[in-house]
Structure 1
Amino acid sequence: MMKVKVMRPIFKPEEPANFILYPYYVFHLKLFYKRIGREDKEFDYFAYVDCYRFGVERGDGFIEIQEWNVREDQIMEELVNKEKAREKALESAFQWGNLRVISWWTPRIEMIKEEKVYKVFWIFEEEGEKYIMDSLTGDKFKLKDLT
């Protein structure tokens, strides 16, 4: 058994379910912009970097995290390491911030917090069909359609 951090599930199927843990890095960054003749700007940016497909999503905050004891075979292997995930988060924050602020200077970006976490995907059977459910959105998909 391993102890890992997971994004607190919001949704769970009514049927008995197994799960698979999907790897993410979550970053809280702060962007600081200097501006001529105007007040400087400061933004918080939360990046959720998918460590399997290498995408990044902007979040509204740092998600609630729980610690779970799980078997190793319930964890998907990450294909993106921490340094690559950090670069992706910084790039995403830079692009997002520059769409909101006009400044002559490159913003200063501080890393406030970072965590390796896993998103829970429930695997269950309903009416003889196997499904997978996203624990944060509640979306469910037939497993056969994903493979």
Structure 2
Amino acid sequence: MGGIKVKVMRPIFKPEVAESFVLYPYRIYHLRLFYKRLGMKDRVFDYYAYIDLYRLGAERGDDFIDLEEWEVDEKNVMEPLVTEEEARMKAFESAITWGNSRVVSWWLPRIEVIREELAYKVFWVYEEDGKKLIMDSLDGKSYELTGERKCRGFPCR
């Protein structure tokens, strides 16, 4: 059975023995914002947006994260729930909000997409002390996998 090629955010953390992994979808943008200003020098900012393609959340990055190409089984890849267009609009909205907090301008900025990639964050699945755990490969935090989801101590609806 053949795999598919995907780009993943280069893992920083990995458990000693990982049984498997899950790839969580993001769309990553390097945007350049051009602000016109009355009577003052125009301003240009670079902005890096990481858009969660499951929950449509946006995070600002300091740079474009290193990516690797992996060949994986499709069953390890979570399908995005957010369209490319929705992700791009979220990235622009996030960039404008951030940029407007740094510069005073009468106009919205012109935005240029420098780079855009669909990439996946690796979550390692492993076992420790008889418990199934999942580890975020970028921050090293682990969470217990249970059959029942909990929301603030109560089962989710």
Distance in 1 between residues matched to 2:48 and 2:124, nearest whole Å = 25
**Which runs of no fewer than 5 residues in structure 2 stay unpaired?**
150-157
Secondary structure of the structure 1 residue equivalent to 2:88: helix
Distance in 2 between residues matched to 1:144 and 1:116, nearest whole Å = 29
The aligned residue for residue 116 of structure 2 is: 114
Distance in 1 between residues matched to 2:110 and 2:18, nearest whole Å = 48
Which of 76, 83, 88 is residue 86 of structure 1 equivalent to? 88
* 1:31-70 equivalence runs, <5 A: 31-70=33-72
Aligned residue type for 1:85: A
Secondary structure of the structure 1 residue equivalent to 2:49: strand
What per-residue deviation string (whole Å, max 9, x for no partner) do you get for residues 25-65 of structure 1? 00000001111222211100000000001101000010000
Instruction: Give TM-score scaled by structure 2 length.
Output: 0.90
Distance in 2 between residues matched to 1:98 and 1:17, nearest whole Å = 45
Q: Is the 8 A contact 2:18 2:124 kept in 1?
A: no
Secondary structure of the structure 2 residue equivalent to 1:96: helix
Distance in 1 between residues matched to 2:79 and 2:17, nearest whole Å = 27
Instruction: Give TM-score scaled by structure 1 length.
Output: 0.96
Distance in 1 between residues matched to 2:62 and 2:115, nearest whole Å = 14
The aligned residue for residue 8 of structure 1 is: 10
Length, aligned pairs only: 147
Q: Percent identity?
A: 60
Shift of 1:93: 0.5
Q: Is the 8 A contact 1:46 1:62 kept in 2?
A: yes
Aligned residue type for 2:24: Y
Give runs of ≥4 in structure 1 deviating > 3 Å.
none
Secondary structure of the structure 2 residue equivalent to 1:95: helix
Secondary structure of the structure 2 residue equivalent to 1:125: strand
Return 46-55 or 137-146, whichever deviates more: 137-146
Aligned residue type for 1:103: S
Q: Is the 8 A contact 1:15 1:126 kept in 2?
A: no
Q: In the superposition, relative to structure 1, how do residues 143 and 106 fare at CA in structure 2: closer, same or farther (>3 Å)? A: same
Aligned residue type for 1:14: E
